[in-house]
Amino acid sequence: MRIALVAHDGCKASLLQWCLWNKKTLSRHDLIATGTTGAIIEQETGLSVERLLSGPKGGDQQVGAMIAVQHLDVLFFFWDPESPQPHDPDVKALLRLATLWNIPYACNVATADLIISSPLFGSDDYEPTKPEFCEREVELLDDGTVAIAE
């Protein structure tokens, strides 16, 4: 499985502890992480991590793009609900894409524990359904507006 690991500054320690606890399981998968989070996990756990840009510098969007092109299987994103984030729209977009594309994601330790301990996690027998999107007819009208046909 291809697993993304993302954490806001206030949650990096929690994600690191979670990764240490689950190191054996995580070592069997391809790990991708945003900049600083990936560096910390790699350094402290010895796990191999593909590092993207820092979240605020585009890393969250890179993870979102991986979801959109179906190159990601699960997202562990420990986000801090008590601290304002300058890149909050990117965070919301990432979570929206995970929901849209039916990617399991955890935003806290309890949910992450349930996902990683599921018998379906990493199972070759489980293939989550992917949404089917229909193409819509789009027409640019003379007044500059767009008409979308269902």
Distance CA(50)–CA(30), nearest Å, equals 8
Whether residue 149 is predicted with pLDDT greater than 80 in this model: the reply is: no
pLDDT digits (tens, 9 = 90+) for 55-93: 889 899 999 999 999 999 999 999 887 776 666 788 889
* Residues 23 and 45: beta-carbon distance below 8 Å: yes
Architecture of domain 2-149: 3-Layer(aba) Sandwich (3.40)
**Token representation of residue 1:** 């499985």
| pTM: predicted TM-score of the whole model, two decimal places | 0.85
Q: What is the pLDDT of residue 3?
A: 98
Average pLDDT of the chain, as a whole number: 91
Specify the pLDDT at position 136.
Answer: 66
Q: Looking at residue 87, what is its pLDDT?
A: 66
pLDDT of residue 2: 97
Quick one: pLDDT at residue 135? Answer: 66
Between CA 49 and CA 39 the distance in angstroms is 8
Give the pLDDT band (50/70/90) at residue 51. Answer: very high
Q: Quote the tokens at residue 92.
A: 């919301």
Which residues are marked as active site?
Answer: 60
Per-residue confidence band for 108, with pLDDT thresholds at 50, 70 and 90: very high
3-state SS record for 42-84: HHHHCCCEEECCCHHHCHHHHHHHHHHCCCCCEEEEECCCCCC
Q: What percent of the chain has pLDDT over 70?
A: 94
Domains of the chain, residue spans:
2-149
pLDDT at 83: 76
Mean pLDDT of 110-135: 88
